[in-house]
Structure 1
Amino acid sequence: MPNRFLTHMFGDLVHDFGQPAMLWQVGVLLATLVLAWVLARFLRRRLDRRQSLAGSGGLRFGAESLNRAFFPLIGAVLVGIARAITAEFMHTSLLNLALVPLLGIGLIYIVFFFARRVFSRDGENHAWLSLVEKVVSLVVWVGMVLTVMGIQDDVLAWMDSVRFRVANTHMTLLSLASGLLWVCVTMIVAMWLGSALEDRVMRASTLDANLKVVLARLGRALLVVAAVLVSLSLVGIDITVLGVFGGALGVGLGFGLQKIASNYVSGFIILLDRSLRIGDTINVSGLQGMVTQIRTRYTVVRGLDGIETLVPNEKLITDVVQNQSSFQTRGYTKVAVQVAYETDIRQAMALLAQAADDVPRVLQDPVPAPYLVNFGADGIDLELGFWVEDAATGTSSVRSAVNLNIWRLFAEHDISIPFAQREVRIIGAGDILPQNLAAAAQPTSAAAPEAG
């Protein structure tokens, strides 16, 4: 077996070593690599300029692998052309050997590019992405080593000779490996096409926001289903067996997965009938907030306190939902204050209305209105009601600004805000109280203990 290794690429390289043809091969290889480096640098600059204009972190993250793939792929093409031209004049053992790592490394980076576009659209390194990159690197490097050693045919023949049985199907190790490879390739391509379709649909300005989400998710689901069917056909699995699986799945949906299926169907209904949109302010089961995401299983609602809540889509279909953004985005709020009984009430109410002037987000149509609410135990209760723009973003800062203006205006016009005062009377203790006071005023003395 070692002699056979030497009769392949390494053997041809050793045979040409020291011959004039080797110098020509080195010169041709260096020239093609230099030209490949120049072309790759030019393409990198164009791609970097385009990605800087796009401004997407996920696209730049995937473009790193594409930038690295330019040099080996262009080099492989140029070396292949040079080998085809020079093969008629001299041996090309060095060029044959150089093609293997160039093609292999280029293939690795191309797969990395597609995997990053599929599993890491936000520009972060996820666990699935790391696993795919490690498996691809291992498989490609093993293939390159086997190709250089010239035993790839022997390894494939051995894998084809290992036979086993799965149910009623006879399979070999080679068919299993090729099947898994085709499944992975078709799934990655389908998910990449789905991501590209989603990006294209989301950038469309003529489509409704809900329709964009429906088209993107429906397109991705159809592509994944098509990829599964194609990969199963390539492996040799009869697709008709999926009918039995579909029946079992229907029974499972009818029992254990009923809620999950209901949430998925409800999500598509919400997106199609456009009853809710991203950015709407809703109130469902006491939860009030703004819709930030509509997923296929749940809807994300951001409350007025900034906390996001996942609401199952089925709840948005079966429960009563108040959509406060379907008509108006403003909201009504009020502030309360108490003044002393000797205060000029008309002046105090005019100052209350003035306190809402020039406060951001306070609407002047309808105008803020002061009210005399109640005659309290410590003073007169007044109230200022007004409308606030974009109430879903919160009203605490607006009410605080109005209260500060009220405090300033009341201080400038000598209007006091009373505090609680209580008078305590003791009934029937007129004779006892003076005696107790006299006893308390007398000095007390303590006798020293006798010495024992």
Structure 2
Amino acid sequence: MEPEEQQDLVEQAGEIFEVGQGLLGQAQAFLETLLRPWNAYQLAIALAVFVVAHVLSRIVQPRLHDWMRTREGWPKWRLRILLVVHKRMRMIFFVALIWITVAVMREVTWPSRSYLLAGIANLALAWLIVTFATRLIANPFLRTVVRYGAWTWVTLRILGVTDQAEQLLDSIAVEIGEFRLSVWLVLQAAFILGVFFFVARFISRTSAARIQANEDISPSMRVLVVKFIQIALYGVAFFVGLKAVGFDLTGLAVLSGAIGIGLGFGLQKVVSNLVSGIIILLDKSIKPGDVITVGETFGWINSLGARYVSITTRDGREYLIPNEDLITTQVVNWSHSNDFVRLDIFFGTAYGDNPHDVRRIAIDAAKSVDRVLTFQPPVCHIVGFGDSSVDYILRFWIKDPTGGLTNIRGNVYLALWDAFAEHNISIPFPQREVKVLEGSELGTKVID
């Protein structure tokens, strides 16, 4: 280690020791004040108020819980607020009672004899406000970090040692060249980024709900706009948060460029899927709710993701198809421009049946099935003369491919079976004739 670096470490250690001694001296002075009679009385009063608040919460909490169970028609946000109130009932009672106690003591005795109680009341009220405010943060980890950080800062603020604590945390630092990273800077960054991310998340959710409710925008464009807003908001929150703390973003830009080049080579498939997803959203080739066939996978689209498309089949399986496959392979979209789908089924009848009657009966049978469209009537044509039957094709249209294709084909086949049985139309099967030539003999060969 260089002499200059050793000198810096010694100076840093001395600064930390000096600030620590100052805080320790303030802590000793504060503990000495607690030994004074009136301060001890105030601590006893605060403890008694806490016990009363605990007893009241035990009495009220079950009744509030039973009352909440009867509020089934209430909005969820109201029930969430009641649930938070239910869990924090002891603190709520303590804050209310301690402030009532402070008000009474200020009226009946000298202000100095309620000074400690006022500090406890301020601290309890601040902690309660932080508890309710941090409930707005959905992420559990981020909520915990912000809550404990805010509790610590509020406590130091009320005790009047924020400057010393800030100086101590700032003195614990790591220096790399001209860059200096202290504990205080890290805590500031975590808090400010948490606030910015919370604001970005709130705006993102609000705007996403309004965009999804706008029927004038196509489903694919809704997904694209929502994802663009999310990326933009979180990106702005990240960079603005770092800038607000005082980070130099010049080095970060150079570093992100180098990382981007490395990721471009190492994550080509991921980048390809991301770009393919944007192309899919822009050209509106598929959208949530479409019925598509990719290879041998047939189903309807649940959602469009940044990396894959979620497809659910009729048997309940969910396939995650990479976006690149939807760009580079053939995709059958059964509901791209409209929901109308034409289906074909093949059948055959005996040569002895009149083809004109067969066509008419087949068309009427198809029309009798519920999902078959009547304004685009079915058609039936002869497609060939087979070995054992006259072969036909029956074509009909449906407008709800999401209801399934195999089941509608099966229903039409059943309708044909019933109609042919009613009109004595036979459905032949292959038959073979065996002729014994004159002079040949029939016999059996025994195999040993």
Q: Cα offset for 1:238?
A: 0.8
Alpha-carbon distance in 2 for matches of 1:224, 1:212: 18
Distance 1:243 1:61, change over 3 A: farther
| Stretches of structure 1 lacking an aligned partner (at least 5 in a row) | 120-128, 440-452
Q: Equivalent residue for 2:227? A: 217
Alpha-carbon distance in 2 for matches of 1:85, 1:391: 75
Q: Equivalent residue for 2:191? A: 181
Q: Equivalent residue for 1:15? A: 41
The worse-fitting range, judged by mean Cα deviation, of 361-370 and 185-194 is 185-194
- What does the per-residue CA deviation read over 1:315-345, in whole Å, with 9 as the maximum and x for residues that have no partner? 4445565544343322222333333333344
Q: Cα offset for 1:354?
A: 1.9
What code does the residue aligned with 2:123 have? V
Q: Alignment partner for residue 199 of structure 1, among 193, 209, 217?
A: 209
Q: Alignment partner for residue 338 of structure 1, among 348, 351, 356?
A: 348
1:82-161 matches, cutoff 5 A: 90=111, 91-114=114-137, 116=138, 119=139, 129=140, 131-132=141-142, 135=145, 158-161=168-171
Distance 1:175 1:250, change over 3 A: closer
Q: Equivalent residue for 1:368? A: 378
What code does the residue aligned with 2:387 have? A
1:291-306 matches, cutoff 5 A: 291-303=301-313
What code does the residue aligned with 1:268 have? I
Alignment check: 8 A CA contact 2:350 2:428 kept:
yes
What code does the residue aligned with 2:351 have? Y
Distance 1:368 1:212, change over 3 A: closer
Q: Cα offset for 1:255?
A: 2.2
Q: Equivalent residue for 2:19? A: none
Q: Equivalent residue for 1:124? A: none
The secondary structure found in structure 2 opposite 1:170 is: strand
Q: Equivalent residue for 1:388? A: 398
RMSD of the TM alignment (CA)? 4.6
Alpha-carbon distance in 2 for matches of 1:108, 1:8: 30
| Stretches of structure 2 lacking an aligned partner (at least 5 in a row) | 1-23
What code does the residue aligned with 2:173 have? R
What code does the residue aligned with 2:373 have? L
Distance 1:415 1:357, change over 3 A: same
* Percentage of pairs with the same residue: 28
Distance 1:360 1:295, change over 3 A: same
Q: Equivalent residue for 2:423? A: 413
Question: Does 1:252 find its partner at 2:262?
Answer: yes
Q: Cα offset for 1:364?
A: 1.7
Q: Alignment partner for residue 335 of structure 2, among 309, 313, 325?
A: 325
Q: Cα offset for 1:132?
A: 4.0
Q: Cα offset for 1:223?
A: 1.9
The secondary structure found in structure 2 opposite 1:255 is: helix
1:74-85 matches, cutoff 5 A: none
Distance 1:335 1:204, change over 3 A: closer
Distance 1:284 1:406, change over 3 A: closer
Q: Would you say how many aligned residue pairs link Structure 1 and Structure 2? A: 404
Distance 1:63 1:362, change over 3 A: farther
Q: Equivalent residue for 1:232? A: 242
Alpha-carbon distance in 2 for matches of 1:328, 1:206: 17
Alpha-carbon distance in 1 for matches of 2:148, 2:436: 94
TM-score normalised by length of structure 2:
0.70
What code does the residue aligned with 1:107 have? V
The secondary structure found in structure 1 opposite 2:381 is: strand
What code does the residue aligned with 1:333 have? L
Alpha-carbon distance in 2 for matches of 1:289, 1:206: 26
Q: Cα offset for 1:252?
A: 2.5
- What does the per-residue CA deviation read over 1:357-401, in whole Å, with 9 as the maximum and x for residues that have no partner? 231210123321223333333333343221122235422221222
Alpha-carbon distance in 1 for matches of 2:245, 2:264: 31
Q: Equivalent residue for 1:349? A: 359
Alignment check: 8 A CA contact 1:183 1:228 kept:
yes
The secondary structure found in structure 1 opposite 2:247 is: coil
Alignment check: 8 A CA contact 1:333 1:385 kept:
yes
Q: Cα offset for 1:289?
A: 4.3
What code does the residue aligned with 1:15 have? Y
Q: Equivalent residue for 1:122? A: none
Alpha-carbon distance in 2 for matches of 1:60, 1:271: 37
Distance 1:8 1:132, change over 3 A: farther
The secondary structure found in structure 1 opposite 2:194 is: helix
Q: Cα offset for 1:402?
A: 1.7
Distance 1:217 1:345, change over 3 A: closer
Alpha-carbon distance in 2 for matches of 1:240, 1:85: 58
Alignment check: 8 A CA contact 1:63 1:113 kept:
no
Distance 1:262 1:373, change over 3 A: closer
Alpha-carbon distance in 2 for matches of 1:302, 1:26: 59
The secondary structure found in structure 2 opposite 1:356 is: helix
